[in-house]
Structure 1
Amino acid sequence: MNNLFKALNDPTRRKILDLLKAKDMSAGEIAEHFDISKPSISHHLELLNKADLVEKERDGQFIYYSLNTTSLEEAAQWMVELLKNND
Structure 2
Amino acid sequence: MKYSYSEYVPLLKALADETRLKIIDMLSCGELCACNILEKLNITQPTLSYHMKMLTQCELVSARKDGIWMKYKLNEAKVIAYKQFVEELLSHKEDCICKEKWEG
Provide the TM-score with structure 1 as the length reference.
0.87
Matched AA of 1:76: K
Aligned residues: 87
Which residue number in structure 2 is paired with residue 77 of structure 1?
84
Of 57, 69, 88, 1:62 maps to: 69
* SS of structure 2 residue aligned to 1:22: coil
Pairwise CA RMSD: 1.6
1:39 pairs with 2:39: no
Question: Judging changes above 3 Å, is the alpha-carbon distance between structure 1 residues 12 and 39 closer, same or farther for their aligned structure 2 residues?
Answer: same
CA distance in 2, matches of 1:51, 1:32: 24
- Name whichever of 28-37 and 13-22 sits farther off: 28-37
Report the secondary structure of 2:40's partner residue.
coil
Name the TM-score, length of structure 2 as normaliser: 0.75
Q: Quick one: distance in 2 between partners of 1:14 and 1:24?
A: 16
**Pairwise CA distance, 1:63:** 1.3
